Amino acid sequence: ERFALVLSSMNLPPDKARLLRQYDNEKKWDLICDQERFQVKNPPHTYIQKLQSFLDPSVTRKKFRRRVQESTKVLRELEISLRTNHIGWVREFLNDENKGLDVLVDYLSFAQCSVMYSTLPGRRALKNSRLVSQKDDVHVCILCLRAIMNYQYGFNLVMSHPHAVNEIALSLNNKNPRTKALVLELLAAVCLVRGGHEIILAAFDNFKEVCKELHRFEKLMEYFRNEDSNIDFMVACMQFIN
C-alpha cells in the first residue's frame, strides 16, 4: 500500500503514525500526493563527492579561494537534505557504500585544523577569508551531525563511530557561543544513553590532550565563566553538567 510506504519514509513516532493511520482515504491520498510531489534535489553521493574534493590537499591557491566559498554552501544544503528528506535518503547517505558519516567527520576535523592553522600570523587576507569560512563550516558540520542524530539509526552510528564524538567535543574549542551551545546539546544527548558517560569522558580526555589542558573540562569551565552574556550557551552548559 502506497500510504504505508509514505508513512514509513516519514520516520514518525508511533503515536503520530497511529494518528495518520486514522485519516480517511481522502486525507491519506492528499498526504501521498504531497509526499510524492516533493522531489529530492540531489542524491547523497553528490554531497559526499563534493566534501571529498574539498579534502583534497593538492589544490592551487585560486581553486582554494573558490573552494572556501563553496564548502559552506554545500554543507548548508546537506544539512537541509538530512533534516527534511525521508529516512531512506539519510540511510543511503550513511550506508556502507557512501560512508557519509566518515566523510562528514573527516571534514569536521579538517575544518577545525584549518581554524587553528589560520590563527597563525602571515598571509592575512587569505587566512582571514579561510578562517571565517571554516568557522562557519564547523558550525554547519555540527548541525549536520545533529540532523543525523535525530534518527535512532544515525544516533547509534555516531555513538559507535571511533572518532565522531571526539570531533564533536573538539568543536567546543570555538569562539562562537552558538556553536558551543550546539555541541553541548549533542554531548548531553550522548550522556542519556547506556555507556554514554564513558564515551563523553573519553572524548574530554582526548580534548585535554589535543588542547593541552592541565585538567579535564578546564576550557569548558573557562567558557562557562566568560560566556555569561550568552543565555543559550549558559543553559546548554548547565544541562550538560547536570
Listed residues 160, 185, 216: the one ending a domain: 160
Per the structure, the count of domains in the chain is 3
pLDDT at 23: 84
pLDDT at 128: 44
Residue pLDDT tens, the chain, 242 long: 677 776 666 666 778 778 888 888 888 777 767 765 555 568 999 999 999 998 877 664 555 556 666 888 999 999 999 988 888 899 999 999 999 999 999 999 999 887 665 444 444 444 444 544 567 899 999 999 999 999 999 999 999 999 999 999 999 998 889 999 999 999 999 999 999 999 999 999 999 999 999 999 999 999 888 876 788 888 999 889 87
- 23 & 48 share domain: no
Alpha-carbon distance of 193 to 102, in angstroms, equals: 22
Give how far Cα 195 sits from Cα of 16, 151, 169, 191, Å.
Answer: 29, 18, 16, 8
Amino acid identity for residue 52 in this structure: Q
- 143 & 91 share domain: yes
∠ CA(167), CA(136), CA(146), 5° rounding?
50
- Reported residue count of the chain is 242
Name the residue range of residue 226's domain: 162-242
- 167 & 146 share domain: no
- 103 & 145 share domain: yes
Least Cα distance to 51 among 108, 91, 12 occurs for 108
- 54 & 131 share domain: yes
The DSSP call for residue 63 is H
- 25 & 83 share domain: no
Alpha-carbon distance of 157 to 176, in angstroms, equals: 27
Q: Torsion over CA of 145, 149, 155 and 157, rounded to 10 degrees? A: -30
